[in-house]
Structure formats: C-alpha cells, structure tokens
Amino acid sequence: MENMKAVRVHNYGGPDVLRFEDAPRPTPSSGELLVKVHAASVNPIDWKVRAGYMKDYIPLPLPFILGWDVSGVVEAVGAGVTKFRKGDEVYARPDVAHHGGYAEYVVVKETETALKPRSIDHVHAATIPVGAVTAWRALFDTAGLKKGQKVLIHGAAGGVGSFAAQLAKWKGAYVIGTASTRNQAFLRELGVDEPIDYEKTRFEDVVHDVDVVLDPIGGETQNRSWTVLKKGGILVSIVVQPSADEAAKHGVRSAFISAQAGSSLLAEIAKVIDSGNIKPIVNTVLPLSEARRAHEMSEKQHARGKIVLKVA
Ligand SMILES: NC(=O)c1ccc[n+]([C@@H]2O[C@H](COP(=O)([O-])OP(=O)(O)OC[C@H]3O[C@@H](n4cnc5c(N)ncnc54)[C@H](OP(=O)(O)O)[C@@H]3O)[C@@H](O)[C@H]2O)c1
C-alpha cells in the first residue's frame, strides 16, 4: 500500500492532537475519484470535530483526516465515473462523515465534485465549497431571497458571511452586515450597503423591516434578531435551531440548515465565480504541516475570509 503525507487526529483534543505524518493513500471505489489535493481550507467544523464536540453526530473512526473544502487534480477514477477523468482540475465538498482533504490525496464522490472555477487558482477555489454552498442554501434555497429585498447578514466578514454578502449583492438585494470595528472597511469592499459595527452599535436599534436574517453566530445575536424582521420574514440559522415560539410571537418564519453540497450547485457557483461577480477571500495560506497553527487561528472565531492549507 502506498503512503501519503496527511494530518491525522488519533484522539480528540486541542490543536496539538493534529499529527502531520504518513498515512495510507486511499483508493477510489465505484462512483468516487482520487484527487491529488492542491489546497484545503479550514472551517470551524474542522476544530469542532477535532475537539470531539461533534462525535455524536459525526462518528468518524479514529484516526481520521479533517478538511471538507478541497481543490485539486483528479489522479484516478473509480468504476462508473462518467463526468471526470484523470487530469481534471476539480473542487469538492466531501461528506463530513468521510476522511477529508488535510492530505496529499483525498477520495471524493463524483456527486460532490465539480470542475474548479477556471479563473482562480486552487488556493482560492478551496475556500469556496463550504462557505459559498452554505450561503447559497441559506439565502436562496431556504429564504428565497429576491432582488430588491433587504437582508441582514451577521458575521459578514467570516468564511460563510463573506460569500453570503457577495451572493446577496449579486442577487440584487440590499445588504446589511455586522462585523467588528476592524472589519468595517472590509464589509464595504464585499459590497455591503450598510456595515454595522457590533462593537459600537446594537444592530436592532438601527435595522428594521428586513426580509431575511442569516445567522452564523447564534446566542444573543440570534435572540436580538427577531425584532428586525418584517412580518412574514425569515431567520435562517446555520448554528443553532431557532425557537419556533419566538418566531410565532414575532409573526416571522425560521429555519436551521445543515447545508448539503452537490456537484450541480458547485458547478453553478463556479460559473458565478468565473463571471467575476464573487471573489473568494483568502486571509492566510499555510503549509499542510502547519494545520495546528491554522486551527489556533480559526478557533479565535474572528476570521476575515478563509485560512487555507496549501498541500501541493
Ligand atoms: N450549518 C451549516 O451547514 C454550516 C456551514 C458552515 C458553517 N457553519 C457554522 O457557522 C459558523 C460560522 O462559520 P464561518 O466559517 O463563517 O466562521 P468564521 O470564518 O470563523 O467567521 C466567524 C465570523 O464571525 C464574526 N463574529 C464574531 N462574533 C460576532 C458577533 N457578535 N456579531 C457579528 N459577527 C461576529 C467574526 O468577525 P469579527 O472578527 O469582525 O468579529 C468572523 O468573521 C460556525 O459556527 C460554523 O461551524 C455551519
């Protein structure tokens, strides 16, 4: 069996449980591709899984490999694969129940892979699947955001928020976004019409009658968001199930989503990226061997755009 370099988790814990080491190179089964990973981006779910917070929902057998945002080149295809061949440049959002892309090679399903946007490199492409797919599913598929509507995007500087702000703008919505003081100018660069500094302003004092709230923060931020919605509006959370009672009390709707990818949405997003309307935001690029440092940064929960591990 051939080996590859990978970052593996042998036991749950802090960033120091991430081990850069040799691991068996996987082989693709029917309907799967073996991808030579060029870049993998870091998402909060990675450190939540590493720490063991998700072990009841995502029972990965130890040792496992994190990383569910990958971009690379097809090395081999399994039986029955029809859409890709060796040498294709692809990006994917592998199922979190399987080994991820903090490795030289990853196996992904054909159905969770698309050709990478042509206009960008692998480092930028690796920032897209989780962030852009989650934003798209929340804003368009769940909330039905339309041109001319008003949307409040919390955490608009983050991995999901930076895509959500740009996608909402691309759709023709009026975009209000929250972030800390240091990210106010960045929100303008993303196209946010009305940036709100949550360190200085209580958003519910200045925001009213929005059609959609996107909540990647939860807690008090979610609780204070009900009053900014117009009657019939919708709060979509990607972190915690909103209270149905609160929604009913305010005459609004609510939803929690756990965003699923899929090759057709990834292909659609690639087209939007290649049209130049949406820019993936790379904050930091680190070698795969520095995954621990990447996790320490992500765990602070004040990312601007994405942290990427460069593999190839
Ligand atoms: N359900 C799903 O399918 C799904 C998918 C992806 C992510 N998620 C979850 O969604 C959450 C966000 O993910 P992410 O990738 O966007 O995280 P991230 O890249 O770490 O970004 C977090 C952002 O939150 C902002 N922030 C922190 N406190 C805030 C506050 N009180 N008000 C407004 N903004 C605040 C930070 O900006 P400042 O530095 O300016 O504070 C930072 O930009 C995570 O918990 C993740 O696990 C869920």
pLDDT of residue 174: 98
Q: Please give the Cα distance from 38 to 282 (Å, whole number).
A: 15
Interstrand relation of 70-77 and 32-42 (parallel, antiparallel or unpaired): antiparallel
Mean pLDDT of 161-181: 98
Does the pLDDT at position 303 exceed 90?
no
Rounded Cα gap, residues 296 and 185, in angstroms: 25
Cα(152) to centroid of ligand 1, in Å?
Answer: 14
Predicted local confidence at residue 155, as pLDDT? 98
d(CA 41, CA 122): 10
Task: Answer yes or no: is the C-beta of 180 below 6 A from any ligand 1 atom.
Answer: yes
Question: How far apart are the CA of 291 and the centre of ligand 1, in A?
Answer: 19
CA of residue 1 to ligand 1 center, whole Å: 40
* pLDDT greater than 90 at residue 49: yes
Ligand 1 proximity of 157 Cβ (cutoff 6 Å): yes
For ligand 1, the distance from its centroid to the CA atom of residue 160, given in whole angstroms, is 7
pLDDT, averaged across the chain: 97
For ligand 1, whether the C-beta of 154 sits within 6 Å is yes
Q: What secondary structure letter does DSSP report for 141? A: I
Q: What share of the chain is helix, strand, coil (3-state, %, to 5)?
A: 30, 30, 40
Other Cβ atoms within 10 Å of 86 Cβ, number: 12
Q: What is the pLDDT of residue 56?
A: 92
For the beta carbon of residue 253, count every other beta carbon within 10 angstroms.
Answer: 18
Average confidence (pLDDT) over 65-76: 98
183 CA closest ligand 1 atom index: 40
The pLDDT confidence band at residue 59, using thresholds 50, 70 and 90, is confident
> Which residue CA neighbors atom 24 of ligand 1 most closely?
155
236 lines ligand 1 (CB under 6 A): no
pLDDT for the residue 244: 97
Buried b (16+ CB within 10 A) or exposed e, 254-291: bebeebebbbebbeebbebbeeeebbbbbbbbbebebb
- Please tell me the residue having the least CA distance from ligand 1 atom 29: 155
Average pLDDT over residues 48-76: 95
